[in-house]
């Protein structure tokens, strides 16, 4: 990680332990700024479908490209973070994402007669650039916080995803209807550029502490790349399966409620907002709870498996209640989306702890890649399921994916 630039003869400024909360705030801002765009744009689906003259399948492809961009870049960003440091990667990613969104606001809107291909390419690049925040901000938090606080700190950082997403969900559909897509792209651009400025000002290295840090995994395991460890891959793949209900609710709730229930964008936005904010609160609670459990590694893994079961049950309920009165259906979708948003903090903390501080960026890049690969595939799969089955099958598929993640996730470590 780059250290602050100083003039000749000056003493470099040292940042003590209290600065970790500033670093956490910067990480939250960086993650939230990207999430406002990543989560908010899909909820403009009805306006986007009409404005860009897209079919439902083409809409799914365009929205999936956001996830594709993150999926193809996250491991690369993780490797770069381990090599060059959190600060440089965050500054590069946030600034370039903001600039791209400014370009989209000026030249890639329905008023500019932008086509499906151009829209999809731009959203892919936006995902690829913005995905830098996943590993870099997570590694910064892991560097500044000790083992007894990491679960909580990482969960707070992960809460920025649903919290920032909630801002995007509440704001971008309204902007799309009231002011058009120039505003939809310009506002997240401002968020990203402000987060880049905060990173430049406040994200720095911690002061060195005497003595070696306490290891969280064996030295031989730390020396091995996370990309060559099956237990790390299992955790990443389990997270990918748990991503299916999250993105099913995020990307197609608006379309489902519009086409099946005749509801407007406000109800869809409220449903996703409950899932995002409730999921964010659940992330903080699970992070604090697993920190207090003592055997943090085992507690995190157990928590992840339990959330998989609960999310599967909730999404199965949504499948059963597809044709029920709208309030019941909305409640089931909101609960399923909430639970599908609740596990990220403990999963990200666990995979980074399993890999060691020197490999945390790579490990976080790996889980980001698997998660966003599924975020890319889910919007593509849903129209196919709809073409051959029904919305009940869509929500049932999300339930099955959640339950399949439970045996795949690594079991709790046995006490020695």
**pLDDT score, position 105:** 97
Residue 413's pLDDT band, with cuts at 50, 70 and 90, is low
What are the respective helix, strand and coil percentages of the chain, to the nearest 5? 80, 0, 20
Among 237, 186, 188, which residue's Cα sits nearest to residue 351? 237
User: 53: left (phi > 0), else alpha (psi -120 to 50), else beta?
Assistant: left
- What whole-number distance in Å separates Cα of residue 276 and Cα of residue 284? 13
- What whole-number distance in Å separates Cα of residue 329 and Cα of residue 214? 48
- What whole-number distance in Å separates Cα of residue 144 and Cα of residue 151? 12
- What whole-number distance in Å separates Cα of residue 374 and Cα of residue 367? 11
- What whole-number distance in Å separates Cα of residue 306 and Cα of residue 322? 25
pLDDT in tens, 240-255: 999 999 989 988 888 8
pLDDT in tens, 189-222: 999 999 999 999 999 877 665 544 444 444 444 4
- What whole-number distance in Å separates Cα of residue 153 and Cα of residue 263? 38
The percent of residues above 90 in pLDDT, for the chain, comes to 43
Q: Report the alpha-carbon angle 138-347-330, nearest 5.
A: 105
What's the CA dihedral at 136, 139, 143, 149 to 10 degrees?
A: 130
pLDDT in tens, 40-91: 998 898 899 999 999 888 888 888 888 889 888 988 998 899 889 889 999 9
pLDDT in tens, 11-38: 456 677 789 999 999 999 999 999 999 8
C-alpha count within 13 angstroms, C-beta hemisphere, residue 384: 7
298: which 2 tokens? 């085992």
How far is residue 300 from each of residues 102, 134, 290, 291, 314, measured CA to CA in Å? 40, 19, 6, 9, 21
Threshold 0.85, pTM exceeds: no
Please tell me the least confidently modeled range out of 216-220, 229-233, 307-311, 372-376. 216-220
């Amino acid at each position: 990680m780059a250290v602050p630039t100083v003039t000749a003869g000056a003493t470099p400024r040292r940042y003590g332990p209290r600065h970790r909360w500033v670093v956490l705030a910067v990480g939250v801002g960086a993650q939230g700024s990207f999430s406002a765009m990543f989560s908010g744009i899909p909820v403009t689906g009805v306006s986007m479908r009409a404005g860009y003259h897209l079919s439902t399948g083409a809409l799914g492809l365009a929205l999936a490209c956001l996830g594709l961009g993150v999926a193809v870049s996250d491991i690369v960003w993780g490797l770069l973070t381990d090599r060059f440091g959190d600060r440089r990667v965050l500054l590069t990613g946030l600034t370039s994402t903001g600039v791209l969104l400014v370009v989209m606001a000026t030249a890639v809107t329905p008023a500019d007669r932008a086509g499906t291909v151009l829209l999809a390419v731009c959203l892919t690049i936006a995902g690829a650039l913005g995905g830098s925040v996943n590993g870099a901000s997570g590694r910064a938090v892991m560097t500044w916080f000790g083992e007894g606080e990491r679960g909580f700190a990482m969960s707070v950082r992960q809460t920025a995803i649903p919290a920032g997403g909630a801002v995007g969900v509440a704001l971008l559909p309204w902007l799309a209807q009231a002011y058009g897509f120039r505003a939809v792209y310009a506002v997240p651009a401002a968020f990203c550029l402000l987060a880049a400025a905060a990173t430049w000002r406040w994200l720095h290295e911690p002061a060195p502490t005497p003595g070696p840090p306490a290891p969280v995994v064996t030295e031989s395991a730390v020396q091995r790349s996370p990309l060559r460890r099956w237990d790390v891959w299992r955790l990443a793949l389990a997270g990918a399966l748990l991503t299916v209900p999250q993105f099913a609710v995020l990307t197609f709730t608006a379309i489902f409620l519009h086409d099946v229930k005749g509801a407007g964008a406000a109800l869809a936005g409220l449903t996703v907002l409950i899932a995002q904010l409730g999921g964010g609160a659940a992330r903080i609670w699970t992070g604090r709870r697993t920190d207090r459990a003592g055997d943090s590694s085992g507690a995190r893994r157990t928590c992840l498996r339990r959330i998989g079961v609960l999310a599967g049950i909730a999404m199965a309920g949504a499948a059963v209640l597809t044709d029920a009165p709208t309030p019941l259906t909305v409640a089931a979708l909101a609960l399923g989306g909430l639970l599908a948003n609740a596990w990220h903090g403990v999963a990200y903390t666990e995979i980074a702890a399993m890999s060691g501080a020197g490999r945390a960026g790579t490990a976080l890049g790996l889980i980001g890649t698997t998660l966003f690969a599924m975020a890319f595939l889910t919007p593509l799969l849903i129209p196919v399921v709809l073409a051959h089955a029904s919305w009940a099958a869509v929500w049932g598929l999300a339930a099955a994916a959640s339950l399949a993640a439970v045996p795949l996730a690594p079991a709790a470590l046995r006490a020695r």
